[in-house]
Amino acid sequence: MRKTSLVLLGAVIGASAVSLGTHTKMFQGGSAVAAAADVYRDLNLFGDVFEKVRNDYVEKPDDKKMVEAAVSGMLTSLDPHSSYMDPKSFADMQVQTRGAFGGLGIEVMQEDGLVKVVAPIDDTPAAKAGVLSGDLISAIDGENVQGMTLNQAVDKMRGDVNTTVKLTLLRGPKKDKVDVTLKRAIIQIKSVRSHVETSDIGYIRITQFTEQTYDGLKDAMLKIQQDIPEDKFKGYIIDLRNNPGGLLDQSVAVVNAFISHGEIVSTRGRNADETQRYNARPIDLSKSKPVVVLINGGSASASEIVAGALQDHKRATLIGTRSFGKGSVQTIIPLGQNNGALRLTTARYYTPSGRSIQAKGIEPDIQVIEDVPDDLKGKDDTKGEASLKGHLKNGDDEKTGSQAYVPADAARDKALHAAMDLLHGVKNADATPAKAEAPVVIPPVGSATPGAKGAPAMDAHPVPDPTVKEPAPKIEKP
């Protein structure tokens, strides 16, 4: 029995990279000099305000906290996914992406002064207690979270294993109050789960992209190939529904498990010479078996990289509803000397055909709408990237979110059954073909991405630090 997964994402985990170098730009000309002078005048203003607050505030402020707050404000003003991580947050994030940590098992972010549940992690205290994506945490052990920073709220939810914590949740449009008591546990994140469906189909569920994901996928595929005779093996179902994303290099590796050549994804920064292209290597593990990918409104970023690449290569049929639409890459930049790190949006990513899914999402080839229970109606759609304040714009045809409900009972899972019917060659009444679009043209390997210069192949690209995961705007996992 699978846990009901209902994601109402304000923002989601995405694809990350690491910058270890320093970039220096030389300013030349009178206008550049004047611009630099304006910047230094603004910095003088900051210094003046800092000193005024430091000397005249009613109570003695903490200098370090004031500086961190100023840096945090600067980053969060850019877009929903850029933020500052203090040393503790940075260390916690590195631990979390390794796939094991202590706590309740929920991904959270801050919204309007409250703590919002991005998603409960499968088989954790939060998931077992019925915490839902989109729930707002208003109090922890009876203490109001308004006025707390996200880090303070997360620290209150963490604690010794087997101790309890009471969360007060506000649920749904009417903000119905729900109290839940959870027992803290060691959270072991297993990002890949698999089993055989109907004796001839390999079902693989990827919950997020951690540094363990590709190895988990590889093991799952090998086991499925051992369990299903070659002559009866109909294909794979890859379930990416409500997968909020994770590590960029892991999403690339997952795609490479199903294709042996061609581009997987490209990233483009502010300047054309910053474009990077990731190409497949000849390590296709799928043995060319058919593939169906399940997506919905909770599938974001790294999930969209996988879905978009397999769709562009016509390697998989996508079934479900439109994905979230987070098409940006955040670089984790350590600041050194125990100063934490920046999570900075540095590029947009593009599918092999050159599509940007930022604020648009990936449209499935076949749309399937799930039947939502009456008590969850109105809570089953995500708002999508396009609804986030300050999101990166992408033309005039931005798309809002879509349904993100996955039935707990597999027997009621219409998208899953549509995928199995497709692999069995059976027509499914719930499957609606998506609107026809222009043919996809994928640039040949080695060619430049349209509008980009000097795009190196995957081999030439620095591999992202596998210990770094970039949640958005500020996502923690207590």
Catalytic residues: 301, 312, 326
Of the two residues 431 and 16, the one the predictor is more confident about is 431
Question: SS3 of 35, please?
Answer: helix
118 and 264 in a common domain: no
Give the model's pLDDT for residue 10.
Answer: 31
Distance between start and end Cα atoms, the chain: 25
Least confident of 76-80, 257-261, 356-360, 380-384: 380-384
What percentage of the chain exceeds 90 in pLDDT? Answer: 58
Say if residue 334's pLDDT is above 80.
yes
340 and 310 in a common domain: yes
Closest CA to 211 of 251, 256, 239, 242: 251
239 and 104 in a common domain: no
Asked whether residue 54 is domain-assigned, the answer is no
Give the contacts of 84 (CB within 8 A, at least 6 positions apart). Answer: 68, 71, 72, 75, 340, 341, 342, 343
Task: Please give the residue range of the domain that contains residue 427.
Answer: 190-460
253 and 120 in a common domain: no
Give the contacts of 5 (CB within 8 A, at least 6 positions apart). Answer: 119, 122, 133, 241, 242, 298, 404, 405, 406
d(CA 238, CA 215): 15
Least confident of 99-108, 198-207, 217-226, 360-369: 99-108
323 and 199 in a common domain: yes
* Domain total in the chain: 2
Asked whether residue 228 is domain-assigned, the answer is yes
d(CA 206, CA 231): 26
Q: Which range has highest mean pLDDT (25-39, 96-110, 118-132)?
A: 118-132
- Greatest extent of the chain over all pairs of C-alpha atoms, in Å: 79
368 and 300 in a common domain: yes
If pLDDT is split at 50, 70 and 90, which confidence band does 473 have?
A: very low
Q: What is this structure's pTM? A: 0.73
408 and 334 in a common domain: yes
CATH code for position 105: 2.30.42.10
DSSP state of 386: G
If pLDDT is split at 50, 70 and 90, which confidence band does 111 have?
A: confident
338 and 201 in a common domain: yes
Asked whether residue 11 is domain-assigned, the answer is no
CATH code for position 354: 3.90.226.10
Give the model's pLDDT for residue 142.
Answer: 94
Q: What is the pLDDT of residues 437-449, one digit of tens each?
A: 444 444 444 333 3
* Strand-pair category, 176-183 with 164-171: antiparallel
